Amino acid sequence: MKQKALLPLVVFTIFALLVTACGGAATPTAEEEVVEPMPAPSGSGEIINRVIERGKVVCGGRTDLLGFGYLNEAGRNIGFDIDLCRAVAAAVLGDAEAIEVFAITAADRGPVLQTAEVDMLSRNVTWTSSRDAQWGNFTIIMFYDGQGYMVRRDSGIETQEDMDGASVCVTSGTTTEKNLADDFRNHGLEFEAVIFEDTASVYNAYEEGRCDVTTSDKSQLAAVREGFENPGDHAILGMTISKEPLTPAVPHGDDQWFDIVKIVMYALINAEEMGVTQANIDQMKTSGDVGVRRLLGQEGDWGYTDLGLDSEALYRAIKAVGNYGEVYDRYMGPLGISFTLPRELNNLWSNRGLIYAPPVK
Amino acid sequence: MTSKGPLSIFTRRGGIPFWRDERVLQAIAQIISAFVVIGLIIWVIVNFFNAARGRGLNLGFGFLQEPAEFPISDPILPFDPSRSFGYAFLVGVVKTLLVSGIGVVLATILGIIVGLARLSTNWLLNKIALAYIEIHRNIPLLVLLFLWYFPVFNSLPPVKDSIVLPGPTYLSARGLYITWPRLQPGAGILVISIALAIVLALVAFILLRRRRLVTGQQTYYVGVSLAILLILPTVGWLLSGDSPIRMDTPVLDGFNFTGGMRLTPEFVALLVGLVTYTAAFIAEVVRAGIQSVHVGQVEAAKSVGLSNFQVTGLVIFPQALRVIIPPLISQYLNLTKNSSLALLIGYQDLFGVGKIAINQAGRAVQVFFMVMATYLTISLITSLVMNIYNRRIQLVER
């Protein structure tokens, strides 16, 4: 009887101890993060360990934009941005299919990167200084784009001045939205903004006639126009009102992962420069060019030891998706499966474009 | 039960040791749960701040003063992208309040009509009301909003082929342009006379009605207050010289109409969706409230010679209100909170502007906090007001 009576007291003591322990435990955890046994930079290894443990690279992407990230007839998520994600998965995990694309709206891109919900954001994100400061680390510009306007051909709009008083459909939470406001303010013109969070709703409303004009990155306009009932009825105006450097990004705080993603991107670009393609990559392993052999992990260390990767990581990435040009052409080249968009700025620097990456050596 | 001192719980009562005293055990259980709850809250907060520090999140509110740089659709208040984030947020709050305020009024009116129709002895009316209620209660609001927006309001003819309604009112994919009375510079006297008329009419109504109730004398309180409402503004109109109000007619100019009163398709679709959806629930509340009044009350009222109108107005409704008001409060709150779905059909309310600010300012934590705090404030104020009203109409037991 006496033992039973003591029970509440014991329970109380245990609870009291637990509460004190919980309160106290919070501070030491914070200190543990700072004091790492290894001299590695803080946060290093956090993401790659998570990726290996999970067996998948989680990418913030999209499933609704032709050419960049969409579902094909078989329901497979494909596109320029998705291939970049696959290249990273192939390099790190050895399997280009080991990705999980987390489909997000434009407005959600910042939060998912800030909270590191995704390992990599590859969803036609424009690199800007404030996003660099707030969202995460931006790797290397993979697509040079600029914002343009799309109008109905029969509307008679040709210049900015023609658009005075027009209704403009735009996606919320984008650089586009800000550029639009800037452009009309700079020209002293009035407009009515019609704003949706969902990209599909923006173009749906435009096509239904809710707006006279819609605006976005020109690549995106070209992509959605292909999906319209009568693509020929719509024109993308010649003017470009902004710089939109589309760049994959990674969360802040893990330099090792930042470097890995950057180097995979360098490899795709270097491969095109060196003429390494998906088809000839195995012959190229024994190429006479030292640079090629180093890229493919046959000679020398391109940095894999310090990044915790193996020598053939970049070989696998290129083998999986092809070089930069192949990725581009697959979706937007003359025979692209999505639509055709001249490479222009997205040519290699050696072909009068802007695509240039540090050497892999 | 002899000792009543503060330490009495530790003394033996009737030979029961304190650890078997039910009151002591209950107190201990309370203390333990309080510790657990407070401990959990502290843990969540500490964990949150640690995580925020680890990710390098800025938790300040300084960004509210920075220019927003994004446009807002149909801002209502004067807005341009050079205004601050804080002001943009305010625009969002006003848009939420506007759509919820109008929505609550219209949903109540429609709800009462449908609720009464549901009780009608007319078979057709009754079944139409039933179908209306069942359809709206069983389809998610988001689906209804999409149905109202994309296939209905967005598929209206382009602005150049607007449907012309009497007024003239123009209906197109750009929205509804209504000819609207606008005050002219000399209209000050008119505005004052209208305000005065409303105040005086209210005072007369309350005072005369009270006298009628207390003394039983006929005071014609309805007639008198209506007369005040009509006569005073007429005098004001005459005093303010030639037509203080001009009809502002919308005119097609370039891409859009100018002039007149404009309702955007987003606003109309949202309002229609919210009102029809919430009205279905209100109709059920009204029906239940009316049915809760005992049939004997009606029979008694009729037997003393009240007309049907009087039976409804003086006997049924006042009693039904006691049952109707509490669930009605939650319907009002639901409508206000549901208005955040506006985001998906392009009406930028509080939540819509908040979502953009999260992205453009990169301050998810602060903005979510502000959004939650604002909805909470709106809801608490709504319930406070409605609860005060509810207390007034409850049965006072003497």
| Greater pLDDT, B398 or A137 | A137
- The pLDDT of residue A74 is above 50: yes
- The pLDDT of residue B17 is above 90: no
Q: Is residue B141, in this structure, part of any structural domain at all?
A: yes
ipTM confidence: 0.75
Largest CA distance in chain A: 94
Provide the pLDDT confidence category of residue B8 given band limits of 50, 70 and 90.
low
Q: Which of B110, B147, B146, B117 is nearest to B131 (CA)?
A: B117
Same domain, B281 and B316: yes
Same domain, B196 and B155: no
CA distance A146 to A159: 17
- The pLDDT of residue B7 is above 70: no
Determine the pLDDT at residue B397: 64
Q: Is residue B73, in this structure, part of any structural domain at all?
A: no
| Greater pLDDT, A33 or A105 | A105
CB-closest option in A33, A191, A208 to B154? A208
- Tell me, yes or no, if B80 comes closer than 8 A to chain A by beta carbon: yes
CB-closest option in A15, A107, A201 to B356? A107
- The pLDDT of residue B173 is above 60: yes
Q: CB A210 to CB B174 under 8 A?
A: yes
Provide the pLDDT confidence category of residue B13 given band limits of 50, 70 and 90.
low
**Contacts with B, A 185-214, CB within 8 Å:** 185, 191-198, 201, 204-205, 208-210, 212
Crossing angle for the helix pair B85-119 and B350-361, to the nearest 10 degrees: 150
- Tell me, yes or no, if A290 comes closer than 8 A to chain B by beta carbon: no
Question: How many angstroms away from the CA of A129 is the closest CA of chain B?
Answer: 12
- Tell me, yes or no, if A131 comes closer than 8 A to chain B by beta carbon: yes
Q: Which helix (H) or strand (E) holds A242?
A: none
pLDDT tens by residue, B31-49? 999 999 999 999 999 998 8
Determine the pLDDT at residue B107: 96
Contacts of A106 in chain B (CB under 8 A): 359
Name the residue of chain B whose CA is nearest to A33's CA.
B54
The alpha helices in chain A, defined as continuous H runs, are 2-34, 46-54, 80-93, 109-114, 129-134, 175-186, 199-207, 218-227, 255-274, 281-284, 290-295, 304-307, 313-321, 324-332
Q: CB A165 to CB B255 under 8 A?
A: yes
- For chain A, domain boundaries: 46-144+246-351, 147-242
Residue A332 · residue A338 · CB < 8 Å: yes
Q: DSSP label at B397?
A: P
- Tell me, yes or no, if B358 comes closer than 8 A to chain A by beta carbon: yes
Q: CB B70 to CB A178 under 8 A?
A: yes
Q: How many domains does chain B have?
A: 2
Q: CB A15 to CB B32 under 8 A?
A: yes
Contacts of B27 in chain A (CB under 8 A): none
Single-letter code of the amino acid located at B312 = T
Q: CB B256 to CB A165 under 8 A?
A: yes
Same domain, B243 and B98: no
Same domain, B385 and B342: yes
- Tell me, yes or no, if B4 comes closer than 8 A to chain A by beta carbon: no
Give the CATH number of the domain where residue B358 resides.
Answer: 1.10.3720.10
Same domain, B381 and B270: yes
Name the residue of chain B whose CA is nearest to A205's CA.
B154
| Greater pLDDT, A168 or B247 | A168
Tokens found for residue A12: 């109380």
- The pLDDT of residue A1 is above 50: no
Q: Is residue B356, in this structure, part of any structural domain at all?
A: yes
Name the residue of chain A whose CA is nearest to B35's CA.
A19
Same domain, B244 and B272: no
Q: Report CA B207 to chain centroid distance, whole Å.
A: 29
Q: Is residue B202, in this structure, part of any structural domain at all?
A: yes
Contacts of A191 in chain B (CB under 8 A): 71
pTM above the 0.90 mark? no
Same domain, B156 and B107: yes
Q: Is residue B29, in this structure, part of any structural domain at all?
A: no
- The pLDDT of residue A228 is above 80: yes
Q: DSSP label at A210?
A: S
**Do A46-144+246-351 and A147-242 agree at the fold level?**
yes
CA distance B24 to A138: 61
Determine the pLDDT at residue A64: 87
**Contacts with A, B 173-192, CB within 8 Å:** 173-174
Q: CB A180 to CB B71 under 8 A?
A: yes
Structural domain boundaries enclosing B207 = 180-248
Q: Is residue B199, in this structure, part of any structural domain at all?
A: yes
Q: Which of A234, A211, A217 is nearest to A165 (CA)?
A: A211
- Tell me, yes or no, if A115 comes closer than 8 A to chain B by beta carbon: yes
Q: Is residue B30, in this structure, part of any structural domain at all?
A: no
pLDDT tens by residue, B182-232? 777 767 788 888 898 899 999 988 888 888 888 888 878 888 888 988 888
Residue A245 · residue A141 · CB < 8 Å: yes
Same domain, B165 and B286: yes
Provide the pLDDT confidence category of residue A24 given band limits of 50, 70 and 90.
very low
Q: DSSP label at B158?
A: P
- The pLDDT of residue A41 is above 80: no
Q: Report CA A212 to chain centroid distance, whole Å.
A: 30
Residue A324 · residue A272 · CB < 8 Å: yes
- The pLDDT of residue B336 is above 90: yes
Same domain, B186 and B332: no
Q: CB-side exposure of A292: number of CA atoms within 13 Å?
A: 17
Q: Is residue B221, in this structure, part of any structural domain at all?
A: yes
DSSP conformation letters of B324-372? HHHHHHHHHHHHHHHGGGGGGGT---HHHHHHHHHHHH--HHHHHHHHH
Domain A147-242, CATH: 3.40.190.10
Q: CB A12 to CB B154 under 8 A?
A: no
CB-closest option in A6, A166, A205 to B255? A166
Q: Which CATH superfamily is domain A46-144+246-351 in?
A: Periplasmic binding protein-like II (3.40.190.10)
Name the residue of chain A whose CA is nearest to B255's CA.
A166
- Tell me, yes or no, if A149 comes closer than 8 A to chain B by beta carbon: no
Determine the pLDDT at residue B11: 57
- The pLDDT of residue A37 is above 50: no
Question: How many angstroms away from the CA of B331 is the closest CA of chain A?
Answer: 27
- Tell me, yes or no, if A31 comes closer than 8 A to chain B by beta carbon: no
Same domain, B160 and B282: yes
- The pLDDT of residue B159 is above 50: yes
**Contacts with A, B 11-70, CB within 8 Å:** 17, 19-20, 25, 28-29, 31-32, 35-36, 38-39, 42-43, 46-47, 50, 53-58, 69-70
- The pLDDT of residue A242 is above 50: yes
| Domain boundary, last residue among B248, B279, B303 | B248
Q: State the best of B24, B156, B359, B369 to mutate against chain A, taking most chain A CBs within 10 Å.
A: B359
Which residues neighbour B137 within 8 Å (Cβ) at sequence distance 6 or greater? B280, B281, B284
Same domain, B203 and B147: no
Q: State the best of A12, A208, A229, A252 to mutate against chain B, taking most chain B CBs within 10 Å.
A: A208
- Tell me, yes or no, if A73 comes closer than 8 A to chain B by beta carbon: no
Q: Which of B87-101, B131-145, B228-242 has the lowest mean pLDDT?
A: B228-242
Same domain, B234 and B109: no
